[in-house]
Structure 1
Amino acid sequence: MIFSVLTIFPDLFDSPLRDGIVGKAIGERKISVDLVNIRQFATDRHATTDDRPYGGGEGMVMKPEPLVRALQQVRTTARPSARVVLLSPQGRLLRQDIAEELVDPSGQLILICGRYEGVDERFRRHVDDEISIGDYVLTGGELAALVIIDAVTRLIPGVLGCRASAENDSFCGNLLKHPQYTRPRVFEGQNVPDVLLSGDHHKIGEHRFLAAVRQTLQRRPQLLAGRQFSAPETALLQRHGLWPEIEALLNRGERQ
């Protein structure tokens, strides 16, 4: 099985890929791990892979262009069944059944390691799946990629492995991150939402809160059962028709 890993820190993989079960599997040619440096696909002299988010806010966001170029390069030699996975807190929570689903001894996993505050939302159209290794914050997707490589490698026939269950924590605030955007303003025909360019921080805050709630309702609704909503938040959700669904989740959580 082939693992292709897109990262801005390929050196982080040196020791983990040399040692233990994974190192043995590489030595026996049951798997191979190809590391692709995203910085090599930036076009400026500083090899820039991140930029400030539109609408303001903390941190930096990974730009879409270097990510897409790196992925396109990998796809030129990828196996037909290759699957592109973005390591993201908004993805499916990694469990043993998902690790089993990813096993394909003759297949290929292309793992995208995010960094900073995440990736530009418009890159997600190039991804087949999103996976999270748990409800906590990491500095980047590299450790998550290593976890997936380890969990999947153990299940490949001929590789000694074991099965284990995962314990789940909760996200701070019990909401997923709202969609993020950075430069360019238009990418592959998709525009950054106008409100993020308005300079109206109140409207930006409301937009991001509502987007985060919608993301959570769609992807991880169980997280909302543990969140306390303020009166202004509740009023905003009522105005946008989201409160009945959330109230049902909260009532369900109280009964459990």
Structure 2
Amino acid sequence: MVISDRFWEAPLEDLKKGYLEEKEQFVCLLCGNQVEKGIIYPQDNTLYEAEKFMNLHIQREHGSVFDYLIGLNKKLTGLTDHQNRLLRLFYEGKNDNEIKQVMEVGSTSTIRNHRFVLKEKERQAKMLLTLMELLKEKDEHAPSLIPPHQTATMVDDRYNVTKEEQEKMLKKYFIEGSKSLKTFPAKEKQKLVVLREISTLFHPKETYAEKDVNEVLKSVYYDFVTLRRYMIEYGFLDRKPDGSAYWLKK
């Protein structure tokens, strides 16, 4: 199961914690980092058991689960930029008067109205979540769709791909038994599936020089420049402005 599958399928309580407990380990839902049970982990002259060490990992690497989630693409959160900013200020513990000053709005009643709208959005989300859970028990014909990757720069109908369709696309474009492309697809949906597969060649904890990225991509396809551009455009890779360092986007 890929990291994004764990993320999207995790129960709400696990999402709030930011990690999932499995039989032998704890798995970070935000980046896939794994902490084995039964081991004591040293950090800054302190010893941590596995679950506490996972909490420390989330704090050090992601700030908090809230920080990570609020930073996701608006297509994933469903929040406007204005709502995103408000939630950040609420989370910081600011009162309505302080928020009014920060956002330079007319009165605190405006902030209260925003709180009401967000609460209404929460109620609607709970209703939809319940309906969708009930639907799973009855809808035998619902296709198994591939969830969007967490760092997607845009989410639209390109992500409307079933697992069966994905397998067919991978067989069509990759040489059997390898990660080398026969050709690079022109259609956006197929392009997305191919790029997602290529992203598995990069380690989430590594930082790469441009020449190293090029070497990885050359092993996939001769036009590595095009691959590199699309890997960034689709949110699989990120880089420094001067192109001196690349990494798998988390």
With structure 2 as the length reference, what TM-score do the two structures score?
0.23
More contact order relative to length (CA 8 Å, sep ≥ 6): 1
Structure ranking higher in helix proportion: 2
Structure ranking higher in strand proportion: 1
